[in-house]
Chain A
């Protein structure tokens, strides 16, 4: 087993293929994720009305972003990989937004039918 030397950056014959994330960074992210999970669960015992969903999704997005940036090392890649991922998220968002807009708009028709049943 090799001695625990720092990741070689200049003298190993070839440039390293990827940045090696430090252990303390990974542990810090892990800690933050656990804390955020605890917050999400704790918050679920209170009722913030319309904000409930926003808070839950906001925390989840923060957690997901941390996983993506450090565990999946998007923070250290070139921009293309992150761009690819974000494009998917944006188009998903458009799909959800327009479908929900339509659904909410015609829902009154469905409700009046259900009441007449």
Chain B
């Protein structure tokens, strides 16, 4: 078969059936909803990346570079953070890939509550609109953490921002409810809990966090808005309130939120590592339970963001100990992935490249988290570039890489087009080099005292003249990283135009979503009567004619 098969897409897939704009806007088809989420989320990361590059450009040289005052710089990093966290990473994998793949992996016809799913999409769009309004009104300058009393007093449009986040929170909660119920009640006969793909365990853990933690964020933001408008004195000391209480409230959500970000990525990595090593996943139950453990223990460590806030030493010690505990399930996953790859038959297709990048970068990020979890060290590196590097290694080096792995993995299924493997690999390499060049120097300067959220570090140069050099390196890396992301977009969008038609199962995976056409039809097929082991690759053979893996009887 010709490699450049430009034959038209199957005439009837979920993309074209049912036709018309109204059918898309009012769809209850999880595939369409997932795709629309993917489109919106991609614009969010673009917007967030622009602010990131502005930050990097400003920091390249000491003193004002492109920004004239701290007031403007405050808005840049706040917008970068809020957009990336609330509009990109938190919804990214559950709302796009989760929605798309969950019912297919279960052989279900849709999620449990399709209309709630559509509501989730519109809530996300609503939140996005509020953020655009925030931009129109000059942006917020409080940091994405909205600490009081600054956030209760600043003239910036804080209320618009918190309303936007509130709405996005409900989008997240609805997705969580949908996934929990779907996994509980809509598994096919023969797929008990321990025969489910591990990506679903990851989504299950994520959904637990989404429904337990997000409501607390909602009430926190509501109280913040009430304090700003009506002077209800819960958080502002001038009104009789307690600013540390705000931090407890805020971090009770925001720490579990980082597990919302990372768990789906870990789930994707699990799938990808197994498929591209042609080897059964090692330690299925350990990985499944570790997803739950991360979700649950992750609720008990929020105070590690507050070690220097005047939180009591007793509670600081409790949180520090629990923080060390939460690292363990993540480490278990890493060991299982490596054991899966051992003596496997590894193919470095782009999804696998990103999965491997994930393991490395998340490893660095996770280990540096232990530094931060130790009370004595944290006193020195809190609010420095060290923290910035740590969370970028975990959130961007972790979650974003997982997202890209998933994007490359499921792209043929979602669009029915295959992309250039070589271009994908080049993009992965560019991103890997760019990422490390951007953030590793920040560990160095952070540990030497470079503060975060500072735009002018001239006064630090006397003691640390090398800061400028590392900042320049970091900026070069930043542009390289974004260049790599642009290359990812180019590779994938190009495939829509010149890419060959994708086969049903180009990667040889054994989970159910690969049993239908690429792209799938509007109606999902029912699950087969006998659900096999979704990590059993023994009976697969690559059929040259269809360029698809086929399961031999």
Contacts and interface: CB of A to CB of B under 8 A. Distances in A.
Interface of A: 80, 87-88, 91, 94-95, 98-99, 101-103, 105-106, 109-110
B98 interface: no
Interface in B304-332: 310-315, 318
The 10 A-B pairs with the shortest beta carbon distances in the complex, nearest first, are A105-B312, A102-B315, A99-B248, A106-B312, A102-B312, A105-B314, A91-B212, A95-B252, A102-B311, A101-B315
Contacts of B311: 102, 106
A51 B60 CA distance: 62
Interface of B: 184, 212, 216, 242, 244-245, 248-249, 252, 299-300, 303, 310-315, 318
Contact of A80 (B184, B216, B314): B184
Contacts, number: 41
A103 B244 contact: yes
Contacts of A110: 242
Given A98-B248, A99-B249, A101-B312, 11 more contacts: A87-B212, A88-B212, A91-B212, A91-B299, A95-B252, A99-B248, A101-B314, A101-B315, A102-B248, A102-B303, A102-B314
B316 to A, nearest CB: 9
Contacts of A102: 244, 248, 303, 311-312, 314-315
12 contacts: A88-B212, A91-B212, A95-B252, A98-B315, A99-B252, A101-B314, A102-B244, A102-B311, A102-B315, A103-B245, A109-B310, A110-B242
Nearest to B316: A102
A99 B245 contact: yes
A101 B311 CA distance: 10
Contacts of B318: 98
A106 B315 CA distance: 10
Contacts of B315: 98, 101-102, 105
Interface centre among A87, A88, A91 (most CB of B within 10 A): A91
A94 B296 CA distance: 12
A101 B313 CA distance: 11
Contacts of B212: 87-88, 91
Contacts of B312: 101-102, 105-106
B493 to A, nearest CB: 42
A58 B135 CA distance: 49
Contacts of A88: 212
B310 A106 contact: yes
Contacts of B216: 95
B235 to A, nearest CB: 13
B501 to A, nearest CB: 44
A101 to B, nearest CB: 6
A80 B303 CA distance: 31
